[in-house]
């Protein structure tokens, strides 16, 4: 049951991130190939990283045909249906938050199943969640959202910690798994809605030191 749930959540995450990448491509006025490529990169990049790190070769994106098909279908669907998707920026935001939650959960669970220690599993889960969004932003010429002031990675990390703690306490259940994904999704949207931001370094005006007049010479004399 747990394995089936992971596969379902993983495929839903692929579809959501593919739609997110496709929506970003449409917003950038890319052609059909560009939209499809961006959807593939956004939806499969994080999972490929996860599988390579936990030594699951070949990655599921290449070993299971369903991943590629789901990503392509979701991307193409967005390309053709985008007139009905009003305010693409908001669509990308919501889809990205959903994908972040789903991939964080599946990435963390798969890392734990592979025997990765808790801290490492949280890190892998977080990178799995944020990886697709980072690639999408890079390919569309944007600064990755995780590197901006918006709270992004912390929402993912919170979900990864919940999954890891539940696993250590042997509280693993579909309800907790889905709940952790919903938690990440909700936190991300709350942070955006409330405009919470991570502090950044403030620029300071440089003022050169002024040289004192009449520097004292040895013996207490001045020149």
- Structural domain including 129 reads 2-197
Identify whether 206 is part of a domain: no
Highest-pLDDT range among 77-91, 106-120, 196-210: 106-120
Nearest 10 degrees: Cα torsion 80, 31, 134, 181: 10
Residue 205 maps to a domain: no
Residue 220: inside a domain: no
Q: Is the peptide bond before 86 cis (omega within 30 degrees of 0)?
A: no
How far apart CA 166 and CA 105 sit, in angstroms, is: 12
Q: Is residue 209 one of the residues assigned to a domain?
A: no
Domain count, the chain: 1
Per the domain annotation, does 83 fall within a domain? yes
The segment with the largest mean pLDDT, out of 25-29, 69-73, 173-177, is: 69-73
Which two structure tokens, joined as six digits, stand for 75? 């991307």
Percent of the chain with pLDDT over 90: 43
pLDDT tens by residue, 147-172 = 876 678 889 999 999 999 998 888 87
Residue 218: inside a domain, yes or no? no
178-196: pLDDT as tens digits: 999 999 999 988 887 776 6
User: What are the tens digits of pLDDT across the range 55-70?
Assistant: 988 998 999 999 999 9
**Does residue 214 lie in a domain region?**
no
What letter would DSSP give residue 147?
G
Q: Is 117 a residue whose pLDDT tops 60? A: yes
DSSP H/E element including 32: helix 32-53
| pLDDT beyond 70 at 42 | yes
């Amino acid at each position: 049951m747990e394995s089936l749930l992971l596969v379902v959540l993983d495929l839903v995450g692929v579809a959501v991130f593919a739609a997110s990448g496709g929506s970003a491509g449409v917003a950038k006025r890319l052609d059909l190939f560009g939209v499809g490529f961006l959807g593939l990169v956004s939806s499969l990049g994080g999972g490929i990283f996860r599988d390579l790190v936990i030594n699951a070769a070949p990655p599921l994106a290449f070993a299971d045909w369903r991943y590629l098909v789901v990503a392509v279908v979701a991307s193409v669907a967005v390309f053709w249906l985008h007139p009905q998707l009003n305010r693409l920026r908001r669509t990308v935001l919501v889809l990205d938050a959903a994908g972040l939650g789903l991939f964080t959960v599946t990435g963390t669970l798969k890392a734990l199943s592979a025997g990765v220690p808790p801290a490492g599993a949280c890190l892998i889960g977080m990178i799995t969640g944020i990886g697709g969004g980072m690639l999408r932003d890079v390919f569309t010429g944007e600064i990755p959202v995780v590197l901006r002031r918006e709270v992004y990675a912390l929402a993912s990390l919170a979900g990864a910690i919940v999954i890891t703690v539940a696993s250590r306490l042997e509280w693993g259940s579909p309800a907790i798994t889905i709940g952790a994904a919903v938690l990440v999704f909700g936190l991300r949207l709350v942070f955006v809605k409330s405009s919470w931001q991570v502090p950044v370094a403030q620029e300071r005006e440089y003022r050169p030191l002024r040289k004192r007049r009449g520097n004292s010479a040895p013996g207490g004399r001045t020149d």
